[in-house]
Amino acid sequence: MTHALPHGDTRQGFARDFRVLFGLQPIRILKTLWQRRWTILGVFLLSVGIAWGILTQITPTYTASTKVLIEGRKTRIVDLHEVLTTLQPQMATVLSEVEVFSSDTLARRVADQLNLYKDPDFNPSLRPAEESRLGGAVMQMISDAVATVIGRPDAVELSPEEQDRLMRNAVVARVRAGLTVEAIRQSLVIRLTYRSPDPARAAQLVNAYAEAYIDQQLEAKFEAVRRASIWLNSRMSDLRATVLESESAVEAYRSASGLVGARGGQLAAQQKLTELNSQLVIAKSKRSEQAARVARVEATLRSGRNIDARDEVLSSQLIARLKEQEATLSRQMSEQGSLYGARHPLLLKTQSELADIRRKIDGEIQTQIQSLRNELEVLREREQALDAEARALEAKVLDQNKAEVRLRELEREAQANRALYETFLSRVKETGEQEQIQQADARIISQAEPPRAPSSPRRTLILLLAGIVGLVGGSALVLVLEHFDAGIRTRDQLEAALGRTAIGMIPEIGRRLSGKRTEDYMVDNPASGFAEAFRMLWFTMKHLRDRKAPQVLLVTSSLPNEGKSLTALSLARTCATLGMKTLLVDGDVRRSTIAKKIGMEATCSIIDLLDGTAALADAVARDPRTPLDVLPGRSARNSDIDLMALSNGAEALFAKMRESYDLIVVDSPPVLPVADVQILAQHADQVLFCVRWDSTPRQTAQSALQMLSEVCGNIGGVLLTRVDLRRHAGYGYHDAGYYYSQYRKYYTEA
C-alpha cells in the first residue's frame, strides 16, 4: 500500500526543486553541465556525425558570379539627336532588365549558343542507359501514383517535332533553374550567379548569359534602327509630295490675290495711308481755324462793330494803307474844324475824302471776308478729298491684310512641311550612320572565373552549426534530465521535497575501502570524515531546539539499499564510543543484516523476546569492535511476523530497554515494502528517515514519509546517505559536501 502527495503539492514540489537547483546560481548550472559532459559530448558527436554523413551524400555545387552595369537607354525614333537616348537612372529600369535576364528567351539563346541540347547534364535523354533506366523507373513510379489518384489520361502520340519542342523546353528550364539574378541596391548593377556541379561550367554559363544579354541588346538596337530606316524612307516620299503641294498652294494664292511682291506694296500703302491721315488731320485743323475766323468776323459785322471787323482783316496791306489815310484825314479834319469852322469848304472836302476812305475800307473788309469764306470752302473741299482718298486706301490695305493672313498661313504650312521633310532627311542619314556604330545599353564590369571552392554545401559552416546544435541540444537535454531527475542531492532539496528538517549528510566510502569491510571503516578510521559525519549527526539530533534528545531512535528509509542499516550501526557505534550505553536493535526481522555486518552469529532476536522464549540479558551480544550492545535478528517465520504485529509485549520490552540503556537505536525495515516499521515507530521517541543521495525518487520518499507520518508524529529529521562527495562538489552545491575537499585536512582517511 502506497500513498502519494496530492497532484498540486507534487507540482509545487518540482517547482521548488527547480528553483533550488537552478535559481539564482548560474554557476551551478555550469557545474551540472560539466557533471554530465559525456552526455553533451555524445550529443555533440552524434549531431556532427549526422551532419557529416549528410554532407558526404550531397553533391557539391559551385557558384560563379558576374556583374552587368545597366546604362538605362531605350529606343526612341522621333528624337532630333539620336535614335537611342539615355534615360534617367531608375530602379524600375534595372528591375525590368532583371526580368529580361530571367526570361526563357535569354535562356534559349544561351542553350543555342552552347548547344546544351547535346549535353547530358541538361538533356537527361542523353545520359547512360543505367541512369536513364533508373530515372525512367522513378518517373514511371511517380506517373503511376498520380494516375492512380487522378486517373490515367488517354495516351497521346507526339510527333517528332513536338517531342523535340518539349525536349528543348525542358533543357531551357534546366538552364534557367541554375541562374540567380539580383539587382544591387542603390546602383544600376545586376549580379548574375550560376550554380553547377562543375566550376568551369558555372563560369561558362554565367558569362554566356551576360554576353547573350549584350548581344540581344545589340540585335534589338539594330532591329530598331532598321525599322526606323524603313519607316523614315517610306515617309520621305509622302513628305516630299506634301512640301511641293504646300509651296505650290502659296504661289497660286499669291498670284490670285495680287500679292506678288506683296510685302513691299503693303508697306507703301501703309505709309501712304499714314501720310494721308496726317494731311487730313492738318486739313481739318486749318478748316476749323478758318471757320472760326469767318464766324468771328461775321458775328462782328452783324453786331455793327466795323472797327472789330477791320481788325480781323488788318492783315491786308490795302486796308492798312487806307487806315493810315483815314487817320491822316481825321487829324486834318480836326485841325480844320478848329481853324475854319464847321462849314468851311476845306473841312467839308476833308470830310468827303474821309467818308470815301471809310467806304473803301468797308468795301475792302467785305472783300476780305468773302476771301475768307472762299478759303474756308477750299479747305473744306480739300478735307473731304483727303478723307475720301484715305477711306479708299484704308479699304485697300484691309483687303491686302486679309489676303496676307491667308498667305502667311499657307507659307507657315509650307515651311513646317519643309522643316519636317528636312528633319526626316537628316534622320535618314543619321540612322544610316548609327547602323554602323551601335553600342549596347549595358556592359560587363566583371567576368566570372571558375570558383575554387563549392558554394554549397558550406561544410565548415554546417559542421559548425551542427556542433553548436549538438552542444545546445546536449545542454538542453542535460538540463531537462536534471530537471526531471527525481533524485535528491542537497539538504535544501531534501527539506523542500519532504518538508522536514535535514539533519545531516553521510558520505559514500566505497572508493576508499581498499578491500576492507564498509561496516568497519568508521572503527578503523575514527578521525575520518565518515566518522565525523555521524558525530555531527548525533550532536545535531541531541541539540535540536524544538525537541529533546531521543532515547529510542528508529532508523528507516523508503526502500532497501538506501544505507539505513549501515547508518543505524554506525550511529550506534558512534554513541557507544562517546561513552553512552547504547543498544542496537535489529528490527528488520524479514532481512536481518546487523549480525552479518558485525560478524557474529545471531542466536536470538526481538521475536524471541516478544514471545518470551528469551530474556533481554541473554539475547544481547557485545559488538566485538566497540562497547556497543547488539540485539541481532534472524530470519523470521510468518507466524513470527504476526506475533510481532499482534503482541502486546513490545511496550514492556522497550520500557525495559529504556531502563538499561541511554540510547536504543532500532534498525527497522523500509517503509514502503512492509508495515513492520509502523509498529516499531510507535515505540520510538524519534524516527530518523534516510534518503539515498541522487537515487531515491522524490515521490517515493514523499509517499513513505506520508505513510509514516499517519501513524506517528515523531519524525526527528531526514538524512542524506551514501553521498558521493566528489560528484556532489562538482554540482556546485555550497554546503558541507561542497567544502569537503577544503577541510578534509582535518580528517584522517584510510
Report the DSSP pairing between strands 552-557 and 621-622. unpaired
> Mind listing the pLDDT tens digit for each residue in 262-286?
455 555 667 787 887 888 888 888 8
Which pLDDT belongs to residue 316? 66
CA 651 centroid distance within chain: 82
Which pLDDT belongs to residue 386? 81
| Residues 6+ positions from 428 with CB-CB distance below 8 Å | 229, 232, 233, 236
Which pLDDT belongs to residue 5? 41
CA distances (Å), origin 337, targets 346, 349, 453 = 9, 12, 158
Residue 304 pLDDT grade (very low, low, confident, very high; cuts 50, 70, 90): low
In angstroms, the CA 265 to CA 278 distance is 20
pLDDT higher than 70, residue 101: yes
Residue 622 pLDDT grade (very low, low, confident, very high; cuts 50, 70, 90): very high
- Range 143-177 burial, b when 16+ CB lie within 10 A, else e: eeeeeeeeeeeeeeeeeeeeeeeeebeebbebbbe
**Averaged pLDDT, 2-10:** 41
pLDDT higher than 80, residue 4: no
Q: What percent of the chain has pLDDT over 90?
A: 14
Q: HEC string of 513-581?
A: CCCCCCCCHHHHCCCCHHHHHHHHHHHHHHCCCCCCCCCEEEEEECCCCCCHHHHHHHHHHHHHHCCCC
**What are 238's three cell numbers?**
509622302
> Mind listing the pLDDT tens digit for each residue in 315-345?
667 777 877 887 888 888 777 777 776 777 8
3-state secondary structure at position 404: helix
User: What's the mean pLDDT when you consider all of the chain?
Assistant: 78
**What are 131's three cell numbers?**
541512369
pLDDT higher than 90, residue 307: no
pLDDT higher than 60, residue 252: yes
Q: For the chain, count helices (H), then strands (E).
A: 26, 14
| Residues 6+ positions from 251 with CB-CB distance below 8 Å | none
**Averaged pLDDT, 347-369:** 80
Helix axes 160-177, 104-114, angle to 10 degrees: 100
CA distances (Å), origin 422, targets 239, 418, 432, 462, 484 = 9, 6, 15, 70, 95
**Averaged pLDDT, 708-728:** 83
Kind plus residue range of the DSSP H or E element containing 504: strand 502-507
In angstroms, the CA 425 to CA 28 distance is 93
Residue 542 pLDDT grade (very low, low, confident, very high; cuts 50, 70, 90): confident
What residues pair up with 444 in beta bridges, in sequence order? 68
> Mind listing the pLDDT tens digit for each residue in 138-172?
555 655 665 565 555 555 678 888 888 888 999 99
What residues pair up with 507 in beta bridges, in sequence order? 723
- Residue closest to 538 by CA, chosen among 578, 498, 501: 578
In angstroms, the CA 313 to CA 310 distance is 5
Range with the lowest mean pLDDT among 31-35, 38-42, 245-249?
31-35
pLDDT higher than 50, residue 356: yes
pLDDT higher than 90, residue 120: no
CA distances (Å), origin 461, targets 47, 241, 455, 472, 476 = 14, 76, 11, 16, 22
**What are 461's three cell numbers?**
559552416
Which pLDDT belongs to residue 407? 72
> Mind listing the pLDDT tens digit for each residue in 483-513?
666 678 788 888 888 888 888 888 888 766 6
> Mind listing the pLDDT tens digit for each residue in 663-674?
999 999 898 888
**Averaged pLDDT, 729-744:** 57
In angstroms, the CA 538 to CA 83 distance is 109
3-state secondary structure at position 260: coil
**Averaged pLDDT, 699-726:** 86
Considering 347-361, 629-643, 680-694, the range whose residues carry the highest mean pLDDT is 680-694
In angstroms, the CA 602 to CA 143 distance is 84
**What are 45's three cell numbers?**
558527436
Q: Which residue has the higher pLDDT, 604 or 660?
A: 660
Q: Which residue has the higher pLDDT, 520 or 552?
A: 552
Q: What is the pTM of this model?
A: 0.49
Q: 526 preceded by cis ω (within 30°)?
A: no
Range with the lowest mean pLDDT among 18-32, 290-304, 527-541, 589-603?
18-32
**Averaged pLDDT, 567-579:** 93
Helix axes 317-339, 345-434, angle to 10 degrees: 160
Which pLDDT belongs to residue 582? 95
3-state secondary structure at position 198: coil
pLDDT higher than 80, residue 78: no
In angstroms, the CA 327 to CA 324 distance is 5
3-state secondary structure at position 241: helix
Nearest 5°: the CA angle 383, 389, 395 is: 135
Helix axes 199-256, 104-114, angle to 10 degrees: 120
Which pLDDT belongs to residue 436? 53
**What are 135's three cell numbers?**
530515372
Backbone torsions φ then ψ of 237, nearest 5 degrees: -65, -40
CA-based R_g, the chain, Å: 70
- Residue closest to 397 by CA, chosen among 212, 259, 570, 551: 259
**Averaged pLDDT, 529-534:** 88
- Residue closest to 708 by CA, chosen among 729, 731, 680: 680
**What are 420's three cell numbers?**
519636317
Which pLDDT belongs to residue 59? 85
> Mind listing the pLDDT tens digit for each residue in 378-410?
888 888 888 888 788 777 777 767 777 777 777
> Mind listing the pLDDT tens digit for each residue in 650-696?
888 889 999 999 999 999 989 888 888 888 888 899 999 999 988 88
Backbone torsions φ then ψ of 612, nearest 5 degrees: 85, 10
| Residues 6+ positions from 265 with CB-CB distance below 8 Å | 259, 400
- Residue closest to 114 by CA, chosen among 46, 206, 177: 206
Cβ atoms of 266 and 397 closer than 8 Å: yes
Q: Which residue has the higher pLDDT, 714 or 630?
A: 630
Which pLDDT belongs to residue 743? 58
CA distances (Å), origin 45, targets 30, 55, 212, 235, 476 = 20, 15, 49, 80, 15
Kind plus residue range of the DSSP H or E element containing 373: helix 345-434
Fold annotation for 262-399: Helix Hairpins (1.10.287)
Q: Which residue has the higher pLDDT, 39 or 259?
A: 39
**What are 434's three cell numbers?**
548609327
Cβ atoms of 193 and 98 closer than 8 Å: no
Which pLDDT belongs to residue 609? 83
Q: How many other CB atoms are found less than 10 A from the CB of residue 271?
A: 10
Cβ atoms of 682 and 593 closer than 8 Å: no
- Residue closest to 62 by CA, chosen among 251, 204, 239: 204
Cβ atoms of 688 and 716 closer than 8 Å: yes
Yes or no: is domain 486-746 CATH 3.40.50.300? yes
3-state secondary structure at position 28: helix
pLDDT higher than 80, residue 720: yes
Domain borders along the chain are 262-399, 486-746
Considering 78-82, 196-200, 730-734, the range whose residues carry the highest mean pLDDT is 196-200
Which pLDDT belongs to residue 718? 92
In angstroms, the CA 589 to CA 639 distance is 12
**What are 86's three cell numbers?**
539615355
As a whole number of Å, the end-to-end CA separation of the chain is: 43
**What are 473's three cell numbers?**
541540444
pLDDT higher than 90, residue 553: yes
